[in-house]
Every structure is written in C-alpha cells, then in structure tokens.
Chains A and B, each alone.
Chain A
Amino acid sequence: MPVEGGAVRNGWSQRLCVWSGALFALLFFIGFGVIARYIPPPDPQRSAADVAAFYRDNANSIRTGMLVSMYALVLYVPFVAAISVQLKRIEGTHTPLTYTQLGIGCTLPVAFFPPLYFFQVAAYRPERSDDSIMMLNDMGWLPFTGIIYAIFIQNLAIGFAVLADRRANPIYPRWYGYFCFWTALLYCPAGFDVFVKDGPLAWDGLFSWWLSLVSFFAWLVVTIMVTLHAIAAHVAAPDDCADTPVAVRETAGLFIT
C-alpha cells in the first residue's frame, strides 16, 4: 500500500471537493434562478417583443445572475475529481472509466458557458432589434436544456465502474450503479427540444426540462452522500478498503463474470 499523506488520511481535501458539488448547485440556483429569474424557463412561443422586453427590463439582474452561475459551474470540476478518486480505487492501476468520468465531467462548465454568454450578449445591448434578441435567447435555451450528451455518458461510466467493483464490501453501494443508469436514461428526452416549440419536449417541458433538472439534482444529492460515505469508510479503515481489493468477491455479479 502506498504511503499516504495527512490530507489523504483524514480526507479533508476529498470532502472539500465533494462539498464543492453542493456549492455548485446552490450558487447556480442563486445566480440562474433567483437573481436572473430563469427558473422556470420562459415559454419558447413567446413573441420576439416579449423576449426583448424581458432583456430590456432585467439587463442588470441577467448580467449578475449569469456571472454568478458561471463561477458556480466551475465548482462542478472538483466534485468530479472527488468521484474520480473513488472510481480509481475501484479500477486499480488501469483506469479507463475513471479517466472517462473525469474528462467528461470537466466538459460541463465548458458546455454551459456558451449558452450563458449568449444570454449575456443579449443583455449587453438590449437596444438591439427584437429578432436579434430572440435569436440570442434561442441560442441560449436550446443548448441549455438540450446538452445532456456528456452527462449521459458520465453517468453510464460511473454506473459501469460501480457495478464492476470486485470487493466484498464495495466502495460505492451497488444500487448506486443502477441509480446512475436510471438518471442517465432520464436525461435523454431533453435533446429533442430542438424539434418542438411546445408540449412536454419543449425546452421548458415536463420531459425535457423538469425531468432532467429533477434527476440531475437527485443524482447530485445521492452522489454527494455515497461519496462522503466512501471517503469516511476509507479514512476510518484504510487497510480494510485498500486500493487493491483485499477480499475479492468470488461470485459473479452484473459486469463481474
């Protein structure tokens, strides 16, 4: 077993990174929902005049809200790193799923910056024509609701890694693996928001916006809980849950054959 420094032994840096995920959600909600008032999303069928009026009347709160939201987005990355540390313990020396999860997780802020900056551009010169503002608004909302592609694979990668754990006492509980598969599936309808302007798949619809939002939030809360638990177990008994499985399950499970 490799020599572990103090930070690993008491796990404070890992816990800090996990709580960074909670801070991400909180700050993002404050910026996007409370300050900019983008939750619930506006109706895609609003007239151009109404859309433009929204940006003219709320330019400063939109600017501030998006600024806070973008700081929040970056805080997702330490959270992803904390998950990766646990996945690495599962995978051992060769860690393709850990790298997949880490790489994809880091794309989340990058994916959401452009939509938020389109909202910023619309609020920057709200005296623009109604049509231009509506286009910027569409450019923001379509990807904002629709970009689920990366997080879909991120959840699958975590799910596969969790179910491949060969320990008798797995690092993540096995139900968490199935939970990740379920949330991955719930994101899928959101990508279809480009086809419709109203109904359950529109960017403010039940199956695109609300289902994705609720499942992402549920995934975030559950992931924070199980990751903190895994860190606590590792810190309490580093030998019992060493990075190479001591007690290997002899029996097959899903993905363990």
Chain B
Amino acid sequence: MTSTKDNAACGPQTDRRERSLPAEAGLWLFIFGDLVVFTLLFLVYLAYRTDEPELFASSQQTLSINVGAVNTLVLLCSSLFVVGAVRATRAGNRQLAPCLVLAAMACGFVFVSVKVFEYHDKLETDHTPASNYFYFFYFFMTGLHLVHVVIGLGVLTFLWRLTRRADELTSLGMSSVEGSASFWHLVDLLWIVIFPLLYLVQ
C-alpha cells in the first residue's frame, strides 16, 4: 500500500509486519468496533420502525431530503479531497496535500453548520427527541454521527500537520496519514447509511 520510498525508511520493527492493511492494525479494531455499534443502532431503529410504521413515515415527511442530500454531497466531496491528499502525500507533494486536507476540513465545517441549522429548525417546530421514537432516533443517530464528525475534524487537523511534511514521512508517518484518512472515510460511510435510513426509506 505504501511506496517503495517509505519501505526504505522504516525501522526494523516495521519490517516485521506485513503491510497488507492501510494504517495500523490497531486502528481497524476501533473502526470495526465502531461499525458494530452503529449496526446495532441501525437494527434497533429498524425494529422500532416496524412497531409504528405510520408514525415513522409521517415523521419522516417533516425532514428535508434536500438538506440531507446536500450534506451527503458535502461529505462525499470531503472524502474525495482526503483521497487526493493521501495520493499527494504518497507523491511527497507538501504543497498540494495540506491544501486538499484544508478543503476536506472546510466540507466538514459546512456539514456541521448545516446540521446545526437543521437541529435548530427541528427544535423551533417542536420536534424534540421526546416527541416520538422517530425523532428520538433522528437526534440520537445524527448526534452520535456529529460527534464523529467533530472528532474527525480533530483527526484532519492532525493529518494536515503530517501532510505539511509529506516529502519526509517515514513508513509509520505514512501509516498515520492512512489511519487519519480511514477515520474520515468511516465518518462518511456512516452518514451514507444514516441518510437513507432516516430520510429516504419508506
């Protein structure tokens, strides 16, 4: 997964490991663990949904598909920027890579802002987590995801620092770049499941 330049620079302890995964193996423990928890949440949501299909359908009508779609697009763009940043980092481009990370972060901030306006709008029209189970899950799922976005913005800041030294990164530095990018893709992936579940599924 890494270029030959990185392998030349890595220490003895990194020679031992087979680099078949991007990033450290330990990070994948976190990512899969997180996916397990969200999967559990999705299943519980679907179980509650089958109990009250009409209520869930009518509450769903009050969500704006457009707002959700905009946020989906924003996150997809940010993931694309991150992919570009990882490629630029592998190529050792210390000018382009940090710019692409900043672009991804800008997308992240747009996502958070849109979400805050959406929450504000919902609370203004008296749709709170206590209203019904649809709104309970709406706030719970999107809230938990939003926490991931905020953590992700911190991770992207870390990635930005790494990419500024793109041409002198060692194997493990590169592995940190991949790890940070993987976390951001996780945030994107979760949203891609949450969006249809909450906004689209009839």
Residues of A in contact with B (beta carbons under 8 Å apart): 168-169, 173-179, 181-182, 185-186, 188-189, 192, 195-196, 199-201, 206-207, 211, 249-254, 256-257
Contact = CB atoms under 8 A, between A and B. Distances in A.
B136 A249 contact: no
Nearest to B23: A254
A252 B24 contact: no
Residue among A168, A188, A254, A257 facing the most chain B CB atoms (10 A cut-off)? A254
Nearest to A167: B13
B143 to A, nearest CB: 9
Interface stretch (B77-85, B86-94, B169-177): B169-177
A189 B37 CA distance: 11
Nearest to A175: B26
A206 B176 contact: no
Interface size class of B (residues with CB under 8 A): 35 or more
A185 B38 CA distance: 12
A254 B179 contact: yes
A195 B130 contact: yes
* Secondary structure dominating the interface of B: helix
B202 interface: no
Contacts of B41: 207
A13 to B, nearest CB: 30
Given A251-B11, A252-B170, A199 B133 contact: yes
Contact of A168 (B13, B29, B44): B13
Contacts of B34: 182, 185
B172 A186 contact: no
Contacts of B140: 189, 192, 200-201, 207
Contacts of A188: 144, 147
Contacts of A179: 26, 29-30, 33
